[in-house]
């Protein structure tokens, strides 16, 4: 997933990534519903403890599929324990990324890259890999934290995405964040 940076969020503090206050500030359903439909195959890149993965699984329904991908085994274990024994368990496939690539070969309709692109050493390689598995017409939602990623750094990320043939279709407003929706 692009060589590990010293900025990768440690599993030990992941409780801060999945709590009621965050759910109120960054409601997963409100964020994702404009882009995901029943039956889709979607990728939660850098899924962490599954804050968005579970909502993605609800939206795609029984006929859809969520690939929850993360570099850290501990994060994937948190997702697994969260959905174990629920109807969402069969919809979510856990995927361990490599140090320098995502490693997903399945084509996807939508990719969520939430608060993690700044952690990737080679954003060009990461975005290129996503572009290679994104179905024609598929979309990517990239969201980065205002407090951690400057406007110029975010625009550089978007320029890298454009360089692989993705087009910006929207820049949605999200609290405490910079965001862009790109389409293949």
pLDDT (tens digit per residue) in 95-147: 999 988 999 999 999 999 999 999 998 999 999 999 999 999 999 999 999 99
Cβ pair 116, 154 in contact under 8 A? no
Residue 5 has pLDDT above 50, yes or no: no
In a domain, residue 25? The reply is yes
Q: Residue 124: its pLDDT value, please?
A: 95
pLDDT (tens digit per residue) in 10-20: 555 655 567 66
In a domain, residue 3? The reply is no
Instruction: For residue 36, give the CATH number of its domain.
Output: 3.40.50.150
Q: For residue 120, give its domain range.
A: 11-183
In a domain, residue 87? The reply is yes
Neighbour-count burial for 73-103, b at 16+ CB within 10 Å, e otherwise = eebbebbeebbeeeebeebbebbebeebebe
In a domain, residue 2? The reply is no
Asked whether the CA dihedral 43, 83, 97, 124 is positive or negative, the reply is positive
Question: How many structural domains comprise the chain?
Answer: 1
In a domain, residue 4? The reply is no
In a domain, residue 170? The reply is yes
In a domain, residue 6? The reply is no
Bigger pLDDT: 81 or 21? 81
């Amino acid at each position: 997933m692009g060589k590990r940076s010293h900025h990768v969020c440690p599993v030990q503090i992941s409780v801060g990534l999945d709590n009621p206050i965050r759910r109120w500030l960054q409601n997963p359903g409100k964020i994702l519903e404009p882009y995901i439909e029943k039956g889709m195959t979607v990728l939660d890149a850098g899924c962490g403890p599954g804050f968005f993965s579970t909502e993605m699984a609800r939206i795609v329904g029984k006929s859809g599929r969520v690939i929850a991908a993360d570099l850290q085994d501990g994060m994937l274990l948190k997702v697994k324990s969260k959905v174990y024994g629920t109807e969402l368990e069969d919809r979510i496939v856990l995927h361990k990324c490599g140090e320098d690539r995502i490693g997903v070969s399945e084509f996807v309709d939508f990719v969520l890259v939430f608060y993690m692109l700044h952690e990737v050493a080679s954003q060009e390689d990461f975005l290129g890999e996503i572009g290679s598995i994104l179905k024609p017409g598929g979309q990517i939602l990239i969201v980065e934290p205002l407090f951690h990623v400057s406007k110029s750094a975010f625009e550089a990320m978007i320029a890298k995405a454009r360089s692989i043939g993705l087009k910006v279709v929207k820049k949605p407003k999200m609290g405490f964040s910079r965001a862009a929706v790109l389409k293949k």
